[in-house]
Amino acid sequence: MALLSCTPVIPDAKEPPKQETEEPETGNGKDDDKNMISMKMIVGEYTFDVEYADNNTAEAFKKMLPVTLKMEELNGNEKYCYIDSSLPTASSNPGTINAGDIMLFGSNCIVVFYETFKTSYSYTRIGKVKDTASLKKALGSADVTIKFE
């Protein structure tokens, strides 16, 4: 596999401004940046809720948001994208990758899995798509653009 690089595309000023003066809502993923426990992953017309892992990698990924990545297809089970900067790692072999896992491979490769399978590779968890019912359909079998916010 050749190492391919993609550059995150930061959305333009159409993003709503941060609401720093409002009290954060609880339990619905609309907390402010410091207390955010979930994010949205948008693929075309599909939007998925993602629960962050409780680690430094997920915290560093949050600081990149919002970000749009053009992700490459690999092995009929994942989409990946090498980013320009490194994130903190604490990699381990999960044994089984589950559909919906969002992982970091090495220190700069974001991976979204849409199939469940056994693995011998090590990853650092970033998060997990909460409802994967339409994930495979949304990601398709070709390269795809995914927005994380």
Residue with tokens 């993609």: 6
Res 38: pLDDT = 87
Spatial distance between the Cα atoms of 96 and 108, rounded to a whole number of angstroms: 21
Cross-strand pairs, 102: 112, 127
Please state the pTM of the whole predicted model.
0.78
**What confidence category does residue 128 fall into, taking pLDDT thresholds of 50, 70 and 90?**
very high
Percent over 90 (pLDDT), the chain = 74
pLDDT of residue 11 exceeding 90, the answer is: no
Res 31: pLDDT = 38
Res 131: pLDDT = 96
Res 101: pLDDT = 98
Q: Per-residue pLDDT tens for 41-72?
A: 999 999 999 999 999 999 999 999 999 999 99
